[in-house]
Amino acid sequence: MGRAIIIVLDSVGCGAAEDAGVYGDAGADTLGHIAQACAEGCGDRVGLREGSLRLPNLDRLGLGRAMQASTGHSSPGLGLGEPAGQWGYGVETSLGKDTPSGHWEIAGTPVQFKWGYFSQTMPAFPPEFTRALIAEGELPGILGDKHASGTAIIEEFGEEHLGDLKPICYTSADSVLQIAAHEHAFGLERLYALCKIARRLCDPLNIGRVIARPFVGRTSADFVRTAHRKDFAMPPPAGNLLERAALAGHEIICVGKIGDIFAHRHTGRELKGANNNDHVDLTLRALAEARDGALIFVNLVDFDTDFGHRRDVPGYAACLESFDARLPELTAAMRDEDFCIVTADHGNDPTWRGYDHTREHVPILSFGKGVAPGPIGRRETLADIAETIAQRLGLAAGAHGRSWLA
**Three-state secondary structure of 156-217:** HHHHHHHHHCCCEEEECCCCEEEEEEEHHHHHHHHHHHHHHHHHHHHHHHCCCEEEEEEEEC
Name which of 390, 92, 103, 97 is nearest 263 in CA terms: 103
How far apart CA 345 and CA 331 sit, in angstroms, is 22
In this predicted structure, what is the pLDDT of residue 80? 75
Q: In the prediction, which pLDDT does 293 show?
A: 98
136 and 161 Cβ atoms separated by less than 8 Å: no
Q: DSSP letters of 41-85?
A: TTT-BTTTB-SS---HHHHHHTHHHHHHHHHSS--TT---S--SS
Domain 127-233 fold: Alpha-Beta Plaits (3.30.70)
d(CA 10, CA 343): 8
Nearest to 4 by CA among 111, 110, 109, 108: 108
User: What is the bridge-based pairing of β-strands 295-300 and 4-9?
Assistant: parallel
- Collapsing DSSP to helix, strand or coil, 364 comes out as strand
**Domain segments of the chain as ranges:** 4-111+237-393, 127-233
Please tell me the predicted confidence (pLDDT) of residue 183. Answer: 97
Q: What is the pLDDT of residue 79?
A: 86
For 313, phi then psi, to 5°, come to: -65, -50
The answer for 10, left when phi > 0, alpha when psi is -120 to 50, beta otherwise, is beta
263, exposed or middle or buried, with CB in 10 Å at 0-12, 13-18, 19+? middle
Specify whether the CB–CB gap between 65 and 389 falls below 8 A. no
Identity of the residue numbered 289: E
Q: In Å, how far are 9, 59, 151, 336 from 205, measured between CA atoms?
A: 29, 42, 26, 47
Predicted TM-score (pTM) of this structure: 0.92
Written as one letter, the residue type at 353 is R
Name the β-bridge partners of 299.
8
H or E element that contains 286: helix 276-289
Q: What pLDDT is attached to residue 151?
A: 87
**Alpha carbon distance 137, 1 (integer Å):** 50
CATH 3.40.720.10 fits 4-111+237-393, yes or no: yes
Predicted confidence at residue 150, as pLDDT, reads: 86
What string of pLDDT tens digits covers the 406 residues of the chain?
Answer: 899 999 999 999 999 999 999 999 999 999 999 999 999 999 999 999 999 999 999 999 999 999 999 999 999 999 877 899 999 999 999 998 989 999 999 999 999 998 999 999 999 999 999 999 999 999 999 999 999 988 899 999 999 999 999 999 999 988 999 999 999 999 999 999 999 999 999 999 999 999 999 999 999 999 999 999 999 999 999 999 999 999 999 999 999 999 999 999 999 999 999 999 999 999 999 999 999 999 999 999 999 999 999 999 999 999 999 999 999 999 999 999 999 999 999 999 999 999 899 999 999 999 999 899 999 999 999 999 999 999 999 999 999 999 999 7
